[in-house]
Every structure is written in structure tokens, then in C-alpha cells.
Chains A and B, each alone.
Chain A
């Protein structure tokens, strides 16, 4: 059977990623073989893999591929990551952590006489809260005097999205998701107030490169190549170190306007109601024993943590509120949880996009949950975005074979707030319709009213098809 490469693995002719029997292989071509040998012999990758900073790479017998059309020089095997996430789904601290890992690896690689050929943020994934570099072939031998070819990419995919939030309080996710190469320096430069352009780091990394780029546009290629002087290695080290220090100090511009970041202190449950909700969720996890749980509307990660403590192996949380995501990530780091909180606009989930609409997979294409939690989530879509209840329930129950859905009735103070300034056009939005639709589509194992306003939890199980 002939193998097809992963749709995201086409840029680098040195190698391609293939999946065979759920195992991940990287096939090194003749073009990439020489560099690979040099890098492998430095032991840099294995040393960093030992520290969980670069994904483990094992050389395996090429005959394992067994495809006459493929004649790789080397075949490498990587462990399969349970979930691939993208920088446009990360919150600020995650992108910052990924950026710092990239720079740290660049610095250490340079000590070993190596250099990264690019600076793609898509080459970093998260294992729990730890970023890990996954593209071993983009590490190459350092050539004396070479410039940092990934500088522009680093700025656009890591630095500029961080600056957008840090300097202007604008979150990067929507822009990044619409422009997969990140936030262009030229665009960011236009948004900077003129006096900020004098700041040393902003000038050197954002303003100057974009201006010089425009300036050089009408130059002939020969004139430019005659200008490419050698860059001293110390300068390269200095650039990485300065960026590391600068990014390490970046923080999101303080904002008090997040609705859900304060959720834990503003939600409308009495203490005994909270206990009941927790018992219901905990009991569900213990009985169903899911390995991977998706927590939609994870908020500050309270129930994601509970799911993990009740036996789940990994939780992938989704929320649209940045502050809530940041608090979730902080919780995951503080309590060492295998919890990955990601940005999701439920009414507009990440699409399949990039080259041939396949390079980056959609939210649904990455579905891997054994159970789903959608606690105090449905009303944001049903009322907030006018999604019909039957379509919404369909979407939710198809995310995993079982789960818990919480229904918020119109009498609930939060829902009243949502309907306060708009016409109530939701004639069918009531507990009875919710239950009826759910019953038609799956089995309700049990349900429980958990608040004075009649918020109700439903434990559902989808019939296996």
C-alpha cells in the first residue's frame, strides 16, 4: 500500500512525515541525509529529547516503510502526540513559553555548532503545559557568518502576536487564524504609535526590518547579494539572548474587562450546589473512565482539574475568553496538570485551512475525546449566537461517545442578563425541548437539577454506530 505524506509536511525537501498504522515516521531524503548525519552525531537532539524539549527521535530500519515509491535514506520514528494544536489556538502565556523554548534551543544549538533553518511556531507542540519542538530536520549545521534565516518568521509567528497583546491589548488569535504565517511586521509597525518606534527592541526587530524590506524592494538581486556581509557568531548569540530577555518580560496589557476570568468568584451557585455539580462530574468520570476529556467552555479549568483528579488522563479545554484561558494555563502549570486550554469560538471553530485546505486541521478533524463536558456552555451558542437547539445538541454529542451537558433555563440570572437588551426570539428554548431532543438522539443515563434557577446536568451516552 502506498503511503501519502502528512498534508502539513511539504515545505522541507529534506524529509516528509508519514503515518503508518498510527505510528509517526519521518522519511529523510537524499537531500537531507548529509545534514541529518552531522546533526545526529552531535547528540544535540537526543540530549534535548532527554530534557523533553525536542521530541524523541529513533532511527528505524527503512524497510519498515515497505513502499517501492519511497526510497528514504533514513527513517526516523517519533512518538505520537495525542493532540496537535496551533499557535492561533494558544493563549498569551503559551505562545510566550513556545517562543522562549525556540530561543533557548537556538542558543544551545549554536553552542553545538548547529542552527535552525526556520522559526515556525507550528514546529512546537504542547505536552501538558510543556512546549516541545517537533521538527528535528530543521536543525542544521551552522555555517560560519550565516545570518538567522528564521528571524522574520520568528517575529511574525512569535514576537509580533505577543507584542500585539502586550503593547496594544489586542489578542492574536483571530488575526493569526486568518493569516497562518502570523502577524506581519509591516502591519504591526503601522499600528505602533510613532514614539514607541524609538524603543530599541521594537526598532531593531520590527520597524527596521520592515522598512528595509520596502527599501530593498527595487534593488537588483546582485546589489543585494553583494551586501550580504557575514554576521559574527557573537552577534547572533546577542540577538537570541536579547530577544529571550525581552520576551521573558512581556506581559499582556492589563485588562479588567474579561467576563469569565472572574467566573470562579461570580458564578451563581451556592456552595452546596457547587458540591453537587462536582459530585456529578466526578462520578461520571469515575464510571466512564475516559482517557481524553474535552471540556468546552473550560473557563478557569476548575472542572478540567476535577476530571483529571477523578481519573481522566488528559483534558483539552476550550474557551473564548483570554483571561479565563490564561488562568486555566496558570492552574495547569501550578498543579502540574495534563491540561491543555485552547482558544475556541464555538460558533466559528478552527477550520481546515492552509495549502489545499488541509495543512492545518479543523477542530472537528482533530476530534479525539472519549468524553465531553459542556458545562454552562450551550446557552452561549443557543442564545448568544442563535444556534438552533437541535443543531447544537447534535454538534455537542458528536464530539465524544459520552459526556455531560448542562442546560441553563431562561429563569437563570445569567441568561436573563443575556436577554436583557434583546427580543426573546427563542420560543423553543426550554428544558422540555432540550430533554426531548437529547432523548431522540442518545441515551440519557441520568440528570440532576443543580441550582435554584433549575440549571440541569445531563449525562448522555451516544449509541455506537
Chain B
């Protein structure tokens, strides 16, 4: 479990997410859930996991997308 937490902290500090607009309280809300324990950590982990998944899916589908757009 300790390793999971360490990985989580490392990930948060060194992986820079993209910027756009959102209500600025969301980060605080999620951070409090993390302070609340494992359940909160999992919620946040899910968010990160989604990003990782979407990153790979996007990368794989990119060439196809480009092709389609050229055809159109």
C-alpha cells in the first residue's frame, strides 16, 4: 500500500496536466477526499487513470483520424 501512495505522490508532483477553464474549487474538493483516506485516493486515481487511457487511445487512433480527415 505504501508503494501505491508513493507512486501516487510522485505521479501528482511530476505529471503536469493540461490547462483550461474550470471552477477552481474542484481541486480542493478532491484533495480533501484524498485526505479522507483510501476511498478518496481511489477516486482521484480513477481520474488519472482515465487520462492515461485517453492518452493511449488518442495516440493509437491519431493516424486513422488524419487519414479520414484527408479523405473528407
Interface positions of A (Cβ within 8 A of B): 147-149, 151-152, 155, 185, 194, 197-198, 203-205, 207-219, 224, 227-229, 231-232, 235, 238-239
CB contacts (< 8 Å) of B30 on chain A: these are 208-209, 212, 216, 227
Chain B interface mostly: helix
Min CB–CB distance A148 → chain B (angstroms): 6
Q: When the two chains form their complex, are residues B32 and A152 in contact, meaning their CB atoms are under 8 A apart?
A: no
The answer to whether A215 and B21 touch across the interface, beta carbons within 8 angstroms, is: no
What are 25 A-B pairs at a CB distance below 8 A?
A: A147-B33, A148-B28, A151-B25, A151-B29, A151-B31, A207-B12, A208-B30, A209-B27, A211-B12, A212-B30, A212-B47, A213-B22, A214-B16, A215-B47, A215-B51, A216-B26, A216-B30, A216-B47, A217-B20, A219-B47, A227-B33, A231-B32, A232-B36, A235-B32, A235-B37
CB neighbours of A229 from chain B (8 A): 33, 36, 39-40, 43
Smallest Cβ-Cβ distance to B33: which chain A residue: A229
**Please, which residues of chain B bring their CB within 8 A of the CB of A212?**
12, 26-27, 30-31, 44, 47
CB-CB under 8 A from B25, the residues of chain A are 149, 151-152
> How far is A319 from B61 in the complex, measured between Cα atoms in Å?
62
Known interface pairs A198-B9, A218-B20; A213-B36 also in contact (CB < 8 Å)? no
Known pairs A152-B24, A229-B40; A217 contacts B19 (CB<8 A) = yes
- Do B35 and A235 touch across chains, with their CB atoms under 8 A apart? yes
Assess the A210–B40 pair: CB atoms within 8 A: no
CB-based A-B contact count at 8 angstroms? 107
B39 partner residues in chain A, CB cutoff 8 A? 229
Whether B37 pairs with A224 at a CB distance below 8 angstroms is no
Interface positions, chain B 32-54, Cβ under 8 Å from A, are 32-37, 39-40, 43-44, 46-48, 51
B13 touches A205 (CB 8 A): no
Chain A min CB distance to B37 (Å): 7
List chain B residues, Cβ under 8 A from A213.
22, 24, 26-28
The answer on a CB contact under 8 Å between B17 and A214 is yes
Residue of A185, A194, A231 touching B13 (CB-CB under 8 A): A194
Residues in A whose Cβ lies below 8 Å from that of B18: 214, 217-218
Q: Give the CA-CA distance A232 to B44 in the complex, in Å.
A: 17
Contacts known (A198-B9, A208-B12, A213-B22); A152 close to B35, Cβ less than 8 A: no
**Would you give the shortest CB distance from B70 to chain A, in whole angstroms?**
27
Give CA–CA (A203, B41) in the complex, Å: 14
If A151-B32, A232-B36 touch, does A216 touch B27 (CB 8 Å cutoff)? yes
Determine the chain A residues whose CB is within 8 A of the CB of B12 once the complex forms. 203, 207-208, 211-212
Report B63 CB to chain A, min CB distance, Å: 23
* A residues in contact with B13, CB < 8 Å: 194, 197-198, 203, 207, 211
| A208 B31 Cβ-Cβ under 8 A | yes
Interface of A (DSSP majority class): helix
**What distance in Å separates the Cβ of A289 from its nearest Cβ neighbour in chain B?**
50
A204 in contact with B31 (CB, 8 Å):
yes
Q: Are A231 and B33 in contact (CB under 8 A)?
A: yes
Known A194-B13, A229-B33, A239-B35: A214·B43 in contact at CB below 8 Å:
no
Closest residue of chain B to A145, judged by CB? B36
Closest residue of A by beta carbon distance from B25: A152
Q: Which residues of A contact B44 (CB under 8 A)?
A: 212
Taking a contact as CB atoms under 8 Å apart, the answer to whether A204 and B35 are in contact is yes
- Beyond the given pairs A211-B13, A214-B16, 8 more chain A to chain B contacts, judged by CB atoms under 8 angstroms and listed by A's residue number, are A147-B28, A152-B25, A152-B27, A215-B51, A218-B18, A227-B33, A229-B43, A235-B36
Residue of A nearest to B14 (CB): A194
Min distance, Cβ B34 to any Cβ of chain A, angstroms: 6
Q: For the complex, give the distance between the alpha carbons of A394 and B36 in Å.
A: 59
Residues of A within 8 A of B40 (CB): 229
Are B36 and A151 closer than 8 Å at their CB atoms?
Answer: no
CB pair B36–A152 under 8 Å, yes or no, is no
Contacts of A216 in B (CB 8 A): 22, 26-27, 30, 47
Interface centre among B13, B46, B47, by most chain A C-beta atoms within 10 angstroms, is: B13
> CB distance A209 to B31 under 8 Å?
yes
CB distance from B10 to the nearest CB of A (A): 9
- Which of A208, A217, A228 is within 8 Å of B34, CB to CB? A208
